[in-house]
Amino acid sequence: MTPSRYHRTRYGRYTGGPDPLAPPVDLREALDAIGEDVMSGVSPERALREYLRRGDANMRGLDRLAEAANRRRRELLRSRNLDGTFNEIRELLDEAVLAERKQLARDLDDDARFAEMQIDSLPASTAQAVRELSDYQWRSQTAREKYQQISDLLGREVLDQRFAGMKEALEGASEQDRQAISEMLTDLNDLLDAHNRGEDTTAQFQDFMNKHGEYFPENPENTDELIDALARRSAAASQFFNSLSPEQQAELAELSQQAFGSPALMNQLSQMDAALREARPDLGWDSGQGFSGDQPMGLGEGAAALRDIGELEELAEQLSQAYAGAQLEDIDLDALERQLGDEAAADARTLAELDRALAEQGFFQRTPDGRLNLTPKAMRQLGQSILRDIAQQLSSRSGERRADTTGRLGEPTGATREWAYGDTEPWDVTRTIGNSVLRTVAEAAPGADPVAAMASGGVRIDMGDVEVTDTEARPQAAVVLLVDTSFSMVMEGRWTPMKRTALALNHLISTRFRSDELHLIEFGRYARDTDVAELTALEPRMEQGTNLHHALLLAQRHLRRFPNAQPVVLVVTDGEPTAHLAPDGEPFFFYPPHPQTIGLTVRELEHVSRMGAQVTFFKLGEDPGLARFIDQIARRIGGRVVSPDLDGLGAAVVGDYLRARSAR
């Protein structure tokens, strides 16, 4: 019996682009964070930009990604140096000279003595020694092979600077391999010259790739792509040379002439570099870097490190988004993955998707003057989120009504009634099923077992069985929220909680209690009618004055529009009245509060009270003058005083509104 065969499957990371199983971007969390910044006085455009820069707990922002790119660049500069190839050549030269000395010591002829004198008189410079030994007749086979390795190493290194993988591919290369490289360079230079002359090189490029495509793993599709791939490597080779000390530059220039034992290779490469520089002059050919580490690099490794450094510098600029017309789509995700790993690329991709989704979902809109604003949809989303937080606060307090209870047009009375056409009240299920059972028993045949009759035929509900919950109508409310926007609200950190409160109350009324009419009024040196979008985007005003008098005048105008509605006035403030509206329409400010200001404010509060309004003051802070004023006026007009902390302001206002509504 043959053993059963099975197929072993190995799973790896998905590499076909963005993970198709990744969760969608969390727009709600992003919008909450952006909304908090907007409510603190930051413009929506800057708030969006700042969120993308800082990210969140699960996603690195642009600043952290740019910091990682800069840190990686510094590590490359600190950990590496450019002595690798020089050290390797020096070691090969020392080994060749040592082997030759041993051979000459065994040879007794006069020519051996002359050769010893030639070896002893070699210059200290590695490059000059290599050049003087180019015509030397080696007696030691080992020494001849070591010297040939120097020539081959130089050829492979200078090619590896400009063509990917050449150092390894040409190890142990034959003369035929070197000739193939020479032919490729000749054809390449012809192609580059034709391109720089402005000629159509489509056919020439195809012929070139058919003949020499094995040397280009990037698999370019046209001449421009070929130039892009080669120019970056060639520019990095130039930057490598510029990064050397003057002594190292002189040695490398002299050593390179011995690549593959002839200056022909360097001549071809120099011609190629010049053509590439002409085609792509903006790649920083004349720049360099200062390496200071203890890890030596060869010519190819050094050029690769410089390409990495250049790529990291470009990524840092792209991630900074500090240039004109910057977009997240500018970020090279492939380069980011090469340099910082797939997680960094995933974070950048998520940021771009988030930015695009916020725009596509309609959370931002451009005003005619070019400013970016939050849309009504965004305001609803923010209000829902804030109300959800407030609901959790209310539900944790004993005796408080939850803010997420669905509003109805009436409250149950405890009684039921027979359903009539047009009723929208909920069914009383217990009474309805009970009526059906009783009717089924009554309709059973005389003498029949009613239980058996129900078991056989079941219980069928007739429309006459249905009873609905009886409710009584609730009156409409005209709600006015007056919020203090004076200088002290900004200085004491009450600006954002005030806005959150207005946004939550607006969302609650507009979605759950739509029969009520909410109006927002903000007051500082003078009062202004506003809406939730304007209030949310309102920047801090450095103006002194608490003009409650003017705010109450505007509130009465709103209440008069709804004469049959129950008036509700909610006042959020942290200071006693210090301003009033003068007869000429200009605000009058004086501190400490002027008696006329107090008198006019009290008069308007009494007018509001006579209109039947329920007035609630939400006192912020510990201002003794405010406490005295509010306590006295509350007793005078039968109002309420609530002293919440900042975190509980929204819950206090929403809870008070719900209590007042329940009382109605």
Which helix (H) or strand (E) segment holds residue 505: the answer is helix 495-511
In the chain, DSSP finds a helix count (H) and a strand count (E) of 26, 16
pLDDT at 227 over 80: yes
Count the residues in the chain.
664
Assign 3-state DSSP to the chain and report helix, strand, coil percentages, each to 5. 60, 10, 30
pLDDT at 389 over 70: yes
Identify the CA nearest to 407 among candidates 507, 316, 486: 507
Radius of gyration of the chain (CA): 42
pLDDT at 532: 87
Identify the CA nearest to 63 among candidates 313, 310, 321, 312: 321
Number of other CB atoms surrounding residue 34 within 10 Å: 25
Q: What's the mean pLDDT in 495-505?
A: 87
Listed in sequence order, the residues at least 6 apart from 269 whose beta carbon sits closer than 8 Å to its beta carbon are 158, 159, 162, 185
- Per-residue confidence at 576, pLDDT binned at 50, 70, 90? very high
Q: What is the pLDDT of residues 295-329, one digit of tens each?
A: 776 666 666 777 787 788 888 888 888 788 788 88
Listed in sequence order, the residues at least 6 apart from 662 whose beta carbon sits closer than 8 Å to its beta carbon are 401, 411
Express as a percent the part of the chain with pLDDT over 90. 19
Query: What token pair was written down for 542?
Result: 């450095």
CA atoms of 238 and 232, how far apart (whole Å): 10
CA atoms of 470 and 491, how far apart (whole Å): 52
Q: Which range (26-40, 348-362, 531-545) has the least confidence?
A: 26-40
More confident of the two residues 397 and 115: 115
SS (H, E, C) 277-327: HHHCCCCCCCCCCCCCCCEECCHHHHHHHHHHHHHHHHHHHHHHCCCCCCC
CA atoms of 41 and 527, how far apart (whole Å): 19
Number of other CB atoms surrounding residue 209 within 10 Å: 19
Number of other CB atoms surrounding residue 15 within 10 Å: 8
Burial of 452 (0-12, 13-18, 19+ CB in 10 A): exposed
Q: What's the mean pLDDT in 412-420?
A: 73
Listed in sequence order, the residues at least 6 apart from 60 whose beta carbon sits closer than 8 Å to its beta carbon are 68, 344, 347
Mean pLDDT of the chain: 80
Angle between helices 202-212 and 223-243 (to 10 degrees): 70
CA atoms of 489 and 498, how far apart (whole Å): 9
Residue with tokens 């952006």: 34
pLDDT at 411: 53
Amino acid present at 347: D
pLDDT at 347 over 70: yes
Residue with tokens 């040379």: 241
**Beta bridge partner(s), residue 529:** 521
pLDDT at 530: 93
More confident of the two residues 425 and 410: 425
Fold of 477-663: Rossmann fold (3.40.50)
Q: Which range (22-26, 85-89, 197-201) has the least confidence?
A: 22-26
- Per-residue confidence at 205, pLDDT binned at 50, 70, 90? very high
> Long-range contacts: 419-424, Cβ < 8 Å, 24+?
419/463, 419/466, 419/467, 419/468, 423/468
Express as a percent the part of the chain with pLDDT over 70. 81
pLDDT at 119: 87
pLDDT at 3 over 70: no
CATH 3.40.50.410 spans which residues of the chain?
477-663
pLDDT at 200: 92
pLDDT at 404: 37
Amino acid present at 444: A
Measured at the CA of 567, the angle between CA 505 and CA 552, to 5 degrees, comes to 85
pLDDT at 408: 40
Listed in sequence order, the residues at least 6 apart from 164 whose beta carbon sits closer than 8 Å to its beta carbon are 217, 218, 233
Q: What is the pLDDT of residues 110-159, one digit of tens each?
A: 888 898 898 888 887 777 887 788 888 988 999 888 888 877 777 677 77
CA atoms of 585 and 582, how far apart (whole Å): 5
pLDDT at 631 over 80: yes
pLDDT at 100 over 80: yes
CA atoms of 559 and 517, how far apart (whole Å): 9
pLDDT at 504 over 70: yes
pLDDT at 262: 67
Q: What's the mean pLDDT in 89-111?
A: 87
The DSSP-derived string for 133-149 is: GGG-----HHHHHHHHH
CA atoms of 664 and 411, how far apart (whole Å): 10
CA atoms of 28 and 273, how far apart (whole Å): 53
Alpha helices for 40-174 (secondary structure H)? 44-54, 62-79, 84-106, 110-120, 126-132, 141-162, 166-169
Q: Which range (70-79, 98-107, 166-175, 645-654) has the least confidence?
A: 166-175
Query: What token pair was written down for 471?
Result: 């409710």
Q: Which range (365-374, 424-433, 579-588, 638-647) has the least confidence?
A: 365-374
CA atoms of 580 and 601, how far apart (whole Å): 7
User: How many angstroms separate the most distant Cα atoms in the chain?
Assistant: 146
CA atoms of 270 and 158, how far apart (whole Å): 11
pLDDT at 407: 36
Q: Which range (6-15, 117-126, 172-181) has the least confidence?
A: 6-15
pLDDT at 657 over 60: yes
Please state whether beta strands 640-642 and 614-619 pair in parallel, antiparallel, or not at all (unpaired).
parallel
- Per-residue confidence at 522, pLDDT binned at 50, 70, 90? very high
Burial of 626 (0-12, 13-18, 19+ CB in 10 A): buried
Question: Could you give the 3-state DSSP secondary structure of residue 162?
Answer: helix
pLDDT at 546: 93
More confident of the two residues 109 and 562: 562
pLDDT at 167: 60
Preceding amide of 592 cis, omega within 30: yes
pLDDT at 484: 94
SS (H, E, C) 358-403: HHHCCCEEECCCCCEEECHHHHHHHHHHHHHHHHHHHHCCCCCCCC
Q: Which range (42-46, 200-204, 531-535, 644-648) has the least confidence?
A: 42-46
Task: Return phi, psi of residue 484, to 5°.
Answer: -75, 125
More confident of the two residues 253 and 103: 103
Identify the CA nearest to 234 among candidates 172, 162, 303: 162
CA atoms of 617 and 625, how far apart (whole Å): 14
CA atoms of 412 and 467, how far apart (whole Å): 13
pLDDT at 387: 73
- Per-residue confidence at 1, pLDDT binned at 50, 70, 90? very low
Q: What is the pLDDT of residues 584-623, one digit of tens each?
A: 999 999 999 999 999 999 999 999 999 999 899 999 988 8
Predicted TM-score (pTM) of the model is 0.57
pLDDT at 432 over 70: yes
Q: What is the pLDDT of residues 216-226, one digit of tens each?
A: 888 889 999 98
248 to 86, 125, 253, 447, 530: CA distances (angstroms): 8, 10, 8, 119, 72
